[in-house]
Structure 1
Amino acid sequence: MSALETKLTTAHAEVKAEIARTDNKTALLLAFVGAVVAGAWTVAKDMPLNTASCVVGGAGMALLVAAAGLLLRSVRPNLRGRHGFPLWATLTAEEITTQLREDRLSADIAGLSRLAMAKFKGLRRAVDLICAGGALLILAALIVAGGAA
């Protein structure tokens, strides 16, 4: 194996590992958001809420739901992909053999890198929304605790 082939194989494995790490982080964040939403709802339904706490808490919950939507979108399967399983599923056995004879590792790395970047951007936006939603829920709890009208 040449030095270039070794580097391409290493880069390919690295990009695939980054996608797997992003998907793992996304799964953990989805579980976290679900727990926060369920916990906040459980606590809020038994509290004497005023208008200010309802507005602020509702906005916080809306941000958390939006974050969950972003997280789900970032792990949504892309069946229109031009590499890997989606491509193989559309080809005959002979076409697969022809495709595998060609060196497409560079193109695969580029495609996977674009996919990884899209996942990273969605994850980053979701984390920002989770932080903002959590801050609003904390503010709503402080409003209730302080008795502000």
Structure 2
Amino acid sequence: MSTPTGQTLTAAHAEVRAEIARTDNKTALLLAFVGAVLAGAWTIGSALPLNAPAVVVGVLGMALLVGAASVLLTSVRPNLNGGHGFPLWATLTPEQITESLSTDLAADIANLSRLAVVKFTCLRRAVDLTRAGGALLVLAVVLALGGAA
């Protein structure tokens, strides 16, 4: 792969793999954050005297956070049915792996890019759900402390 095309493909392949790793790291951090917010909200909700509007809004906020966690877990769930990467390589001989990688690097880049887009989309949805759930939890605290006046 000493040709410019080969070098370009190798660079693109590395870039896509790095983007998947960055997305997985962001997903892990957001999943930890969502877990901490859920635990904190449960603790605060248990300690505050809650009125009906605060309970309704708080439950909706918690549901959105649980939904965000579900989306995040979906994003990092291994896809063992995929036609590329580790699952495919596990069925090939060493010679077939070398041949597959040398001839199908562009196809692997395309497959990994699609995987990266799916992961990125899940992460984006989870961020949106987390923001909405957090806003509802803040509103629930305001309703609990200030009443439904």
Q: TM-score, normalised by structure 1?
A: 0.94
Corresponding residue of 2:43: 42
2:26 equivalent in structure 1 = 25
Q: Is the 8 A contact 2:89 2:97 kept in 1?
A: no
Indicate the residue corresponding to 1:140 in structure 2: 140
CA distance in 1, matches of 2:12, 2:35: 35
Counterpart for residue 119 of structure 2: 119
CA-to-aligned-CA distance 1:61-87 (integer Å, 9 cap, x gap):
000000000000000001012122100
Equivalent in the alignment of 1:53: 54
Structure-2 separation of matches of 1:34 and 1:98: 43
Give distance in 2, aligned partners of 1:108 and 1:101.
Answer: 13
Instruction: Provide the C-alpha distance between the structure 1 equivalents of 2:54 and 2:96, rounded to a whole number of angstroms.
Output: 63
Q: CA deviation at 1:90?
A: 2.2
| Structure 2 equivalent of residue 101 of structure 1 | 99
Letter of the 2:61 partner, please give it. Answer: G
Q: Structure 1: 5+ residue runs without aligned partners?
A: none
Aligned residues: 146
Within the alignment, does 1:128 sit opposite 2:121 as a pair?
no
Structure 2, gaps ≥5 residues long: none
CA distance in structure 2 between the aligned counterparts of 1:56 and 1:134, rounded to whole angstroms? 11
TM-score (structure 2 length as normaliser): 0.94
| Equivalent position of 2:5 in the other structure | 4
Provide runs of 4+ in structure 1 moved above 3 Å: none
Letter in 2 for 1:54: V
Deviation at 1:47, TM superposition (A): 1.0
Give me the whole-angstrom Cα distance separating, in 1, the residues matched to 2:134 and 2:99: 52
List per-residue Cα deviations over 1:105-126 (Å, max 9, x = no partner). Answer: 0000000000000000000000
Kindly state the Cα deviation for residue 99 of structure 1 after the two structures are TM-superposed. Answer: 4.3
Give the CA RMSD over aligned residues. Answer: 1.1
Name the structure 2 match of 1:81.
Answer: 82
Distance 1:61 1:98 in 2: 49
Question: Which range moved further: 139-148 or 62-71?
Answer: 139-148
C-alpha distance in 2, partners of 1:10/1:4? 10
Equivalences for 1:56-67 in 2 at 5 Å?
Answer: 56-67=57-68
